[in-house]
A and B are shown apart, each in its own frame.
Chain A
């Protein structure tokens, strides 16, 4: 049962629960409790499962730890502190030390000092009586960190003297649960804290952790679970993920959604009032003037860009344009930089040596980054939750507001960010999706469970389905994985080679097989695939490298830019991509494509709703003034933005018509023989990915020709050199057929091959570490290529292959919401309207230009848009 905690406790009530030492320390240090602490501490004190959702810097970590420390101090005082783990703290980040030092070790040290001070007085008395115990002078509460980097000697030390609070990662927890001796130290543990739970729940690491939590629960039935989350939705789902189920019912959980104590000072800024009829140089100049102005007005500014290359660019230009202002006081921080470089930047930031730091995503999570009074988002953060997470990095105890500025550079971005701003201010958070029934992770965990001890299979099924991501797991799916693990997919005589576990159908027992089982498990668990860079070559000549995720998107003939040159992709072979030079050809895939975060479905719908409202106004022939007034109040934007948004919609309305939540506009635009079919389907890239592949597949079957495909958040474009039977194509793709069509469409593609490798590694079909050797991503890929055709022969629906398909369709794409869109069309709730144009309509500019962007230099692009814009202006004048 999930319930929301409505009332908060008073400082007095909370202080009343605390040990005098802790109480005094807290009073001195903070005076009062923060919002989340006022709700949470007493609950946790009462051993209730609790999920706390609040912004960073609101004292979340201490709201979990205060009650825990309190009990440990009481135990210490009564000399009842045993040699075992009381609290397990899980964080997705390996580099935890900073936060932990601040939130645990520091408080403990200060409380220790307090104790010593207090005892000084007492000691004198005791000395007179002749009794001094050194124990009295020690809190003796131990904190230990255990990650993949922990040395063997540290581990054996932990075994002798168990940390009372164990700090670890999801992966290390799974290892500990299989460590026969250390596991014993975890028996009857009292608290389990999951930090940054929002960053785990929506991926396979979360699936893995959810089962580990149940395994821990089995040896510590009384454990209290505490989740710490950024602002996130749907919060009930996260709560279910945190607590799991018992006997088919969700365990009890109190949810605390702490209100923002600080004012959210958020604005969308545009460097120029008009974003379409200006030169690139001007936009560029104005952008950096604006950035400089913002930076100079604040003490320390954090700028988020959406890609790593943009991070580098911004640093470069700021230094270049304002050499007297920016030099040593500017830092870059993104995941491609070395660990040392990043740590150095963090360190300088904390010391206040930096005026400005520019980051892509790497500073979004975790670590305390010190004093930041302004966060600038350059380009759309693509989801409300991410926007809040990013701007939440600003703020300081001394300030009572969180200050963020989103800078937009084109009209689509302007509308997207304005709607995002509205939702952020109205606290409408877009929902995340929790992957359900990931079979590869399931296989890995069942293997671990079987290694623990021989046991009844029914008990294992029960344990697994207690974890929320597996609560709907069918028995048939479970037994498919048991069959896989027990080698049922091969004939009896060779089964001993393939079976990882034994399963006795007579007795219903399972157990481990082979002496190597434990070591194989320990060295191969985890869910994060080995990252691989793909070397780009022309024959034997090396050009550079691209991300594997980028390669997944490429098809033969695609043109992309690398190091300022454009290349045509020919084929991939293992870890190399072969290309040929493509002089003066526009790229079909922008280089940052795989880095680009997809627009969230919920935010996309909100934008579509706004489009619908705008259409109503235009159709009702409201005056310009009335419509502008509406924009201003609805979107909370300033006059410049109002003007730009109005003009954009007005042009689209007059020239063609407005697509919106009830109407998908399909704009057919011909260039000579080439036909572009532009779907104005603003549902975000993940939904459009599924829809567009299905339509392209259907279309290519109808015309017996290849169809080119461009996908963006705002829609997609199908391109072919022939007449297109669009009505027929639309009829072929139905909500019932979508999954089937998409399964066909991704068969024998690079993306499925790569994802199969990840799934094969997770399910231990391919062991990344074996007999002291480590397989590189390249070796894994080679093995997986052979494996995928082999398992297809056994069964087209081999569970691990099906999991790879599920991952592509559900996690990478968003087939569920794509199905919903199609259902909407089928039920007549969404109209599909085919219209023809001889110039792409204003809303189609960016869609149409997507991809051409990198090669057509920014200037050409602007020229192109200016030219189209002028044509459209001319056309609509007469209307």
Chain B
């Protein structure tokens, strides 16, 4: 049996901030929010741009561990701006897609709530943007997670994999605190639910214990949900209810 630290599903494991299905050679990641820094700059915050280079660096590591990939699935919010495509986005999205296609046979883009007008960039690469992607045999449905779909595939799915939420947890020691991204596993109705953290390194993520959660999939009692925290490596953190301070 694989160590709990890595195996979140029987047929998938965590590598960095991505989920990898070794048998199918599918790599799943989400919420890159390319262009986020530029959006901040436009609002008057001098945010240095790290995300793209940093993402590529981390992806290189992932690919060197996972080998040649058959499918890359991006669970939405590849880019950040809602209504427009900024200069930074245009260039970074094109470069990212080129990088993906170099490392994977196929790219599947799932539409996120930030991806209102991804089509012009994606179209140029002959890519299709989907609402969801379904692995028939394994009955795994990949979604963004901002809304609950009504589809045959959804009804028959046993496992749902979503992004959107950017889950994270703050650990406190005395007066110090630090936020860590995490993977979450729980149930939605009778299906297994997996929530991936955002791949963007600028965004810290939404603390699961603080404030309102975005995804309707998570509007439920989370105390039985399990956590995998990502720091220098992945750490299995047990159930939400066991985390100190959760109530």
* Interface residues in chain A, defined as those with a beta carbon under 8 Å from any beta carbon in chain B: 489-490, 494, 497-498, 555-556, 570-571, 573, 576, 578, 580, 696, 700, 706-707, 747-751, 764-771, 773, 775, 783, 785-787, 789-791, 793-794
Name the residue of chain B whose CB is nearest to the CB of A540: B212
Give the CA-CA distance A750 to B176 in the complex, in Å.
7
Q: Is the CB of B50 within 8 A of A790?
A: yes
Nearest CB of B to A486, in Å: 12
Chain A residues within 8 Å of B247, by CB:
580
Q: Is the CB of A794 within 8 A of B172?
A: no
Binding-face segment, B66-74, B202-210, B231-239: B202-210
Instruction: Tell me if A's interface is mostly helix, strand, loop or mixed.
Output: mixed
Nearest CB of B to A433, in Å: 25
Nearest CB of B to A519, in Å: 12
Does B64 touch A at the CB level, under 8 Å? no
Q: Determine which of A497, A700, A793 lies in contact with B41 in the assembled complex, contact meaning CB atoms within 8 Å.
A: A497
Give the CA-CA distance A571 to B168 in the complex, in Å.
14
Q: Show 15 A/B contacts (Cβ-Cβ < 8 Å), sorted by A.
A: A490-B48, A498-B46, A570-B245, A571-B170, A571-B209, A578-B210, A700-B174, A748-B178, A765-B46, A766-B45, A767-B44, A770-B44, A783-B40, A787-B46, A790-B202
Chain B residues within 8 Å of A769, by CB:
44
Give the CA-CA distance A569 to B170 in the complex, in Å.
15
Q: Determine which of B38, B175, B204, B210 lies in contact with A786 in the assembled complex, contact meaning CB atoms within 8 Å.
A: B204
Does B10 touch A at the CB level, under 8 Å? no
Name the residue of chain B whose CB is nearest to the CB of A552: B175
Q: Is the CB of B45 within 8 A of A783?
A: yes
Chain A residues within 8 Å of B48, by CB:
489-490, 498, 790-791, 793-794
Q: Is the CB of A571 within 8 A of B172?
A: yes
Contacts A751-B175, A769-B44, A794-B48 given; 12 further ones with Cβ under 8 A? A498-B46, A555-B174, A570-B245, A571-B245, A573-B211, A578-B210, A696-B174, A747-B176, A749-B177, A785-B204, A790-B48, A790-B202
Chain B residues within 8 Å of A770, by CB:
43-44
In this complex, the member of A556, A700, A765, A775 whose beta carbon has the largest number of chain B beta carbons within 10 angstroms is A556
Chain A residues within 8 Å of B173, by CB:
706
Interface residues of B in 222-247 (CB under 8 A from A): 245, 247
A786-B202 CB under 8 A given contacts A555-B174, A556-B172, A749-B176: yes
Does B214 touch A at the CB level, under 8 Å? no
Q: Is the CB of A793 within 8 A of B172?
A: no
Q: Determine which of A749, A767, A771, A793 lies in contact with B175 in the assembled complex, contact meaning CB atoms within 8 Å.
A: A749
Q: Is the CB of B207 within 8 A of A573?
A: yes
Q: Is the CB of B172 within 8 A of A766?
A: no
Give the CA-CA distance A787 to B245 in the complex, in Å.
27
Q: Is the CB of B210 within 8 A of A573?
A: yes
A571-B40 CB under 8 A given contacts A498-B48, A580-B247: no
Chain A residues within 8 Å of B211, by CB:
573, 576
Chain A residues within 8 Å of B170, by CB:
571
Chain B residues within 8 Å of A750, by CB:
175, 177
Chain B residues within 8 Å of A498, by CB:
46, 48
Q: Is the CB of B47 within 8 A of A790?
A: yes
Chain A residues within 8 Å of B46, by CB:
498, 764-766, 787
Mask, B20-39, CB within 8 Å of A = 1, is 00000000000000000010
Chain B residues within 8 Å of A747, by CB:
176
| B interface residue count range (under 10 / 10 to 19 / 20 to 34 / 35 or more) | 20 to 34
Chain A residues within 8 Å of B203, by CB:
786
Nearest CB of A to B204, in Å: 7
Instruction: Tell me the total A-B contact number using a CB cutoff of 8 A.
Output: 84
Name the residue of chain A whose CB is nearest to the CB of B247: A580
Give the CA-CA distance A785 to B175 in the complex, in Å.
16
Does B49 touch A at the CB level, under 8 Å? yes
Nearest CB of A to B34, in Å: 14
Name the residue of chain B whose CB is nearest to the CB of A576: B211
Name the residue of chain A whose CB is nearest to the CB of B207: A573
Name the residue of chain B whose CB is nearest to the CB of A750: B175
* Interface residues in chain B, defined as those with a beta carbon under 8 Å from any beta carbon in chain A: 38, 40-41, 43-50, 170, 172-178, 202-204, 207, 209-211, 245, 247
Chain A residues within 8 Å of B176, by CB:
747-749
Name the residue of chain A whose CB is nearest to the CB of B176: A748
Instruction: Tell me if B's interface is mostly helix, strand, loop or mixed.
Output: loop
Give the CA-CA distance A648 to B41 in the complex, in Å.
61
Give the CA-CA distance A556 to B170 in the complex, in Å.
12
Name the residue of chain A whose CB is nearest to the CB of B53: A491
Q: Is the CB of B47 within 8 A of A490?
A: no
Q: Is the CB of B47 within 8 A of A786?
A: yes
Give the CA-CA distance A791 to B173 in the complex, in Å.
23
Nearest CB of A to B196, in Å: 20
Name the residue of chain B whose CB is nearest to the CB of A782: B45
Ranked nearest first, the 5 interchain pairs of A and B with the lowest CB-CB distance are: A770-B44, A767-B44, A555-B175, A783-B45, A748-B176
Chain B residues within 8 Å of A494, by CB:
49
Q: Is the CB of B44 within 8 A of A789?
A: no
Q: Is the CB of A571 within 8 A of B177?
A: yes
Give the CA-CA distance A494 to B37 in the complex, in Å.
12
Chain A residues within 8 Å of B209, by CB:
571
Give the CA-CA distance A166 to B202 in the complex, in Å.
47
Q: Determine which of B45, B172, B207 lies in contact with A787 in the assembled complex, contact meaning CB atoms within 8 Å.
A: B45
Chain B residues within 8 Å of A786, by CB:
40, 45, 47, 202-204
Nearest CB of B to A716, in Å: 14
Chain B residues within 8 Å of A706, by CB:
173-174
Chain B residues within 8 Å of A767, by CB:
44-45
Name the residue of chain A whose CB is nearest to the CB of B178: A748
Nearest CB of A to B81, in Å: 16
Nearest CB of A to B199, in Å: 16
Nearest CB of A to B87, in Å: 10
Chain B residues within 8 Å of A793, by CB:
48, 50
Q: Is the CB of A787 within 8 A of B174?
A: no
In this complex, the member of B47, B207, B245 whose beta carbon has the largest number of chain A beta carbons within 10 angstroms is B47
Give the CA-CA distance A785 to B179 in the complex, in Å.
11
Q: Is the CB of A775 within 8 A of B204?
A: no
Give the CA-CA distance A789 to B51 in the complex, in Å.
12
Give the CA-CA distance A202 to B50 in the complex, in Å.
38
Nearest CB of B to A479, in Å: 19
Nearest CB of B to A655, in Å: 33
Q: Is the CB of A490 within 8 A of B49?
A: yes
Nearest CB of B to A229, in Å: 37
Chain A residues within 8 Å of B210, by CB:
571, 573, 578
Nearest CB of A to B54, in Å: 8
Nearest CB of A to B30, in Å: 19
Name the residue of chain A whose CB is nearest to the CB of B46: A765
Chain A residues within 8 Å of B45, by CB:
765-767, 783, 786-787
Give the CA-CA distance A357 to B58 in the complex, in Å.
65
Nearest CB of A to B166, in Å: 13
Give the CA-CA distance A490 to B38 in the complex, in Å.
14
Nearest CB of B to A699, in Å: 11
Nearest CB of B to A456, in Å: 26
Give the CA-CA distance A765 to B64 in the complex, in Å.
37
Give the CA-CA distance A522 to B109 in the complex, in Å.
45
Give the CA-CA distance A750 to B175 in the complex, in Å.
7
In this complex, the member of B44, B177, B178 whose beta carbon has the largest number of chain A beta carbons within 10 angstroms is B44
Q: Determine which of A489, A576, A765, A789 lies in contact with B204 in the assembled complex, contact meaning CB atoms within 8 Å.
A: A789
Chain A residues within 8 Å of B177, by CB:
556, 571, 748-750
Give the CA-CA distance A786 to B172 in the complex, in Å.
18
Nearest CB of B to A220, in Å: 34
Nearest CB of B to A795, in Å: 10
Chain A residues within 8 Å of B245, by CB:
556, 570-571
Nearest CB of B to A333, in Å: 35
Give the CA-CA distance A388 to B72 in the complex, in Å.
73
Chain B residues within 8 Å of A771, by CB:
44
Nearest CB of B to A190, in Å: 39
Nearest CB of A to B45, in Å: 4
Give the CA-CA distance A700 to B174 in the complex, in Å.
10
Give the CA-CA distance A751 to B245 in the complex, in Å.
21
Give the CA-CA distance A791 to B37 in the complex, in Å.
13
Name the residue of chain A whose CB is nearest to the CB of B175: A555
Give the CA-CA distance A556 to B174 in the complex, in Å.
6
